A and B are shown apart, each in its own frame.
Chain A
Amino acid sequence: MIKKILKSVREYKLGSILTVVFISLEVILDVLIPILMTKIIDEGINPKNLNIVFIIGGILVLVALLSLLFGYLSGTFAAISSSGFAKNLRHDMYYKIQEYSFENIEKFFSSSLVTRLTTDVNNVQMTYQMLIRIAIRAPMMFLFSLLMVFTIHKKLALVFLIIAPILGFLLLYIANKAHPLFESVFHTYDDLNNRVQENVRGIRVVKSYVQEDTEISKFKEISNKIYQNFMKAEKLVALNTPIMRLCIYSSIILISYLGSRFVIEGSLSTGELTGVITYAAQILNSLMMLSMVYVTCIISIPSMERITEVLEEKPTIQNGKKPIKEVENGEIEFNHMSFSYVKGKKVLKDINLTIKSGEMIGIIGGIGSSKSTLVNLIPRLYDVTSGSIKIAGKDVRDYDIKVLRDSVAVVLQKNVLFSGTIKENLQWGKKDATLDEIKKVCDISCCNEFISKLKDGYDTYIDQGGTNVSGGQKQRLCIARALLKSPKIIILDDSTSAVDTKTDAMIRKSFREYIPEVTKIIIAQRISSIEDCDRVIVLDNGEISDFDTPKNLLKHNKIYQEVYYSQVKGSDSNE
């Protein structure tokens, strides 16, 4: 997992290495500085030797300037390489997601993909920066300082060999105990988030049912749970500083006790004694830093797992070996085709159909009859489970995916427009489409009627999610966008439901007029939307109940008759 993620470091490898190098240099100087600072007093000022004060002072200035330089460089490189690593990770994940099939996307919730790309990457970035900065610094500090103590007095060094493991053990113990508690806090945070989101989104419901008090008490329950868990975790962590102090102080006392004997015996100087005590803090502090690194790492492990999941997800739909680069015409053939989302639960059963190029086909059927699924299989948004679908006589799986999808334009049921101008949105269909081309498709989809009324015309800005155009306008824009692709097959998946019947009819009329050679498939709830189709597929529970002209269907298909009469009867009596 870690290997997989670290692959994204790429061009920032050098920066990471430089960080480590500069930090190592900085550490060496950091260990030297306290010695020099003590020396200036012991050897310069106390013996009243101004020359020595100047010399050591000069060295100290030099060392401090160097340390500043190294500190500056290591800090800068650490920032560059960790932010760069995060950038690459986001890049890799985003690119990967672009390869995902519908099935892949549905596996992750879209909100979860967003968190993975932002929060999780951020966690990993922080951990990475911490690792390249502190994970090197702390052990080096520890070793150097310990080495110094060893050179001063071997027996005194033993004190650290006893206290350091004890401290290390205690810190690890706390970290391991606290970690699951923190995890549970984060889980409860999700609940809190959820509760707030529901209330913010559903505030009208809360208020109209006058449920404010109940919601408050439900919220407090969660808030209290967070409080309890957080308290437990933080209580443990609050032991860190006292324990740290305990260990430092104990070593100072022990060193003073043992050290004073050595001094009196003559095997240690008083200056050396203070030196050893200065190192005590450094040695034990570096252990503290290591435990912090440890905690950050275990906290970011779930984030790393979530990132790896995205990176390792195999796109279920990929190009074949020698993809066909052209779709010749819009003939579609379903051959004993079955499909299931979940193994064993077929939602489409043994579909056999042939649609001629240029035909206009309607599809009707109740909720759950798999109308959308049927058409989504044509541009390979999903792959069939068994049997085959052929376009212009060739299996859809043999086409190049881009070519296939450019030739099969689906206007999805859940339409999405993106923030940007109308023109930019339409140009999704054809990148370099001229205004004339755009106008032409807008004529076909009856968009010009309302666009011409807008102050900014085609440059009108569409808000995120297309909230500033009406449902019917949105649908027509989406149709225009699909038409711009000049497809061989166009599929409208309930795409005119919010368009009035008259306009709806006009769109179909222009379809016949302007794009007679394109195969047109229309899914609709409204019988009037499919009444003038060449043939209509009646789907029932994943099976084809009938496939015939509307006229014949009205004569012999029960489902069709039922829908027809429920809708048409109404309008008859009123005209």
Chain B
Amino acid sequence: MSKKHTLLRLLKYILSKFKKQLVIIVLAIIISSICHVYGQLFLQTLIDDYITPLIGEENPIYTSLFQAIGFMAFIYVIGIFTTWLYSRLTVNVSQGVLKQIRDDMFEHMETLPIRYFDDNNHGDIMSYYINDTDALREMISQSIPNCIANGVLIIASFISMLTLNSYLTMMIILGVSIMLVVARYIGKKSATYFIARQKTVAKVNAYIEEMIDGQKVIQVFTHEEESKKKFDELNAELYENTKNANVYANIIMPIMGNIGYLVYVAIAILGGFLAIKTTTLSVGAIASFLLLTRGFTMHINQLSQQYNSIALALAGANRIFELIDAKSEKNEGKITLVNALRKEDGSLKESNTYTGIWAWKNPISKELTQLKGDIRFDLVDFSYVKGKKVLDDISLYAKPGQKIAFVGATGAGKTTIANLINRFYDIDEGTILYDGINIKDINKNDLRKSLGMVLQDVNLFTGTIMENLRYGRENASDEECIEAAKLANADKFIEKLPNGYNTIITDNGNNLSQGERQLLAIARCAVSNPPVMILDEATSSIDTRTEKDVQDGMDKLMEGRTVFVIAHRLSTIRNAKAIIVLENGKIIERGNHEDLLKAKGKYYELYTGAFELS
């Protein structure tokens, strides 16, 4: 998107909600600027018409002079009022727009497909919310009013100058063109370095983050000197860019201001010459013209000061719009999940309350199909990047209540299969059927509600442990949550925490061990009580002694549900109904534990430890 485009779009954004306020702001700025200038000009009138005639009088009559001063005061009062008005309203608009943008961004972000989060740097996404919106705040609350005020004054002085003398105005245009060329040059240089600086900052940030995260390794390897050396190099680069960016930002004002003075002198000499040697211009006119010149160049100077902040804000706005424009996940499925009752004749009837029986509801035929947990892949192909197949002709089935395990080396496609069932990614070819329904026809939210997922990397949210357990089912009672925690064997460590279930989790549960977090994730899934479960390395960080305790709970949890298990420790999947061995996106073996061992194929190799997992 071009800068102009971004600016227009931003204005539209502002106009869409704050049209009235914006009109008032612009009007108020215009009036306040006019009052400001008028007050200054009136001073001359005051001196010429009211004060000078009284000079030397024995008994001067002040009435009319005081009246004039009163009039000036009146103009100023209007000026102050309008200044207050637009300053105050600008706060409404800038804060309102910011809130709107933040909310829109977040709301939209939640609809984006997983792919978006794979492809974009998390740090970048976060900086949209603070750095980029903050740059916008500065632009809306400072730069824009400033531009309007100066713009108004520039136009007003330009017209006045034109009416006074066109030759001199041409002179001014020449002078101002020089100023603008200079401003553009410096502004561009400055913006280039600011952007370069931004990039180096990101580089330095990444380096510091990597090194500080690995600080312990640095110490163990007494690698401090090397780490310092590399840092110094980056630091010097950052210094160079920061310095240059600031130099250009700092010198623009004195250069522009002083060129303005030079223009003033040129006009004074030329105008003086015209006024004194010829009769084309009156002395009074040239004096006024000079006053106007002074204001004119000053306003141009102030206008050019906004270049940087506007350029930065637009760059930020561009990124924000990129996020807002990113394509949302499609949710075209119409079939929904409902609670159901079984009638005496064996047929199903929709219910408004929780019954423990779930059914898929076809929106057109109103037909109900009981949710059983039968999942089938039929010749499924999938690729993250076009042309690079990650899964190739995958066909498999899981009958209701079966436990199916996936085994294979890193990159074999185990996790990918799991991510296809809940439609984190959409398949390229083939079909996935859920109780005989193509998952594409099922509403995504309902599909996901029916699938419980426990991932290797546990993400917890700021809030109490209880709130985290309740994440999947808001109306679960405390007892249900504690019951689930006991099932997952998380109860023991939770009870040991200072505030038990009310302990607040911060920073993704930084104060808990990886194993404890996995126990919480299992409990959280148990609370949500899904008909189908996907466990992706769910117990990888739990030590074998604890795992033994968890296992009973897990077995109970899995009872009666269809479960997909990806595990690195083969001991956890031994009792699976079917084990599917994947290699390079293809199924190379399948069968139960005993069969596969007898076959002495890949599974046998994996199991006996000749090959490496994960």
Contacts and interface: CB of A to CB of B under 8 A. Distances in A.
B269 A53 contact: yes
A203 B212 contact: no
Contact of B545 (A37, A74, A200, A563): A563
A32 B130 CA distance: 44
Given A367-B546, A503-B612, A68 B219 contact: no
A223 interface: yes
Interface in B567-594: 568, 571, 574, 593
Nearest to A415: B217
Contact of A219 (B103, B244, B290): B103
A78 interface: yes
Nearest to B266: A57
A64 to B, nearest CB: 4
List 3 A-B pairs, minimum CB-CB distance, nearest first.
A71-B254, A75-B250, A202-B459
Contact of B614 (A70, A194, A470, A570): A470
Given A118-B201, A418-B210, A498-B568, A68 B126 contact: no
A90 interface: yes
Q: Range of interface residues on chain A?
A: 35 or more
A26 B261 CA distance: 14
A552 interface: no
B118 to A, nearest CB: 10
Nearest to B273: A50
Interface in A452-482: 464-465, 470-473, 481
Contacts of A470: 409-410, 612, 614
B99 A226 contact: yes
Given A61-B265, A249-B79, A256-B43, A105 B508 contact: no
A163 interface: no
A562 B545 contact: yes
Interface string A195-231: 1111111111111111110111001100110110011
Contact of A44 (B46, B227, B268): B268
B129 A110 contact: no
A394 interface: no
A354 interface: no
Interface in A179-202: 189, 192-202
A114 B208 contact: yes
Contact of B69 (A45, A50, A256, A503): A256
B215 interface: yes
A215 B110 contact: yes
Contacts of B72: 252-253, 256
Given A46-B287, A67-B258, A263-B55, A198 B461 contact: yes
A60 B76 contact: no
14 contacts: A33-B261, A57-B268, A61-B265, A114-B208, A114-B212, A129-B246, A245-B83, A277-B43, A379-B220, A405-B219, A405-B220, A418-B211, A471-B614, A502-B608
Given A231-B95, A402-B222, A94 B47 contact: no
Interface residues of B, number: 154
B471 interface: yes
B76 A253 contact: yes
A41 B290 contact: yes
Given A67-B261, A570-B574, 10 more contacts: A49-B276, A53-B268, A54-B269, A198-B459, A208-B424, A263-B51, A264-B51, A367-B515, A401-B222, A472-B612
Contacts of B141: 234
A220 B103 contact: yes
Interface string B68-108: 01001100100110011001101110111011001100110
Interface stretch (A80-88, A283-291, A340-348): A80-88
Given A207-B448, A219-B106, A481 B221 contact: yes
Max chain A C-beta neighbours (<10 A), residue from B73, B201, B250: B250
Contacts of A566: 544-545, 548
B287 A574 contact: no
B613 A472 contact: yes
B224 interface: yes
A321 B607 CA distance: 55
Interface stretch (B234-242, B343-351, B366-374, B557-565): B234-242
B271 A102 contact: no
A169 B261 CA distance: 34
A209 B446 CA distance: 10
B490 to A, nearest CB: 13
Contact of A498 (B422, B449, B614): B614
A216 B110 contact: yes
A45 B613 contact: no
A502 B10 CA distance: 62
Interface stretch (A2-10, A139-147, A266-274): A266-274
A95 B215 CA distance: 12
B162 interface: no
Nearest to B607: A574
B110 A202 contact: no
Interface in A239-259: 239-242, 245-246, 249, 252-253, 256-257
B212 A193 contact: no
B228 interface: yes
B67 interface: no
Contact of A210 (B218, B224, B235, B449): B449
Given A189-B130, A574-B597, A198 B462 contact: yes
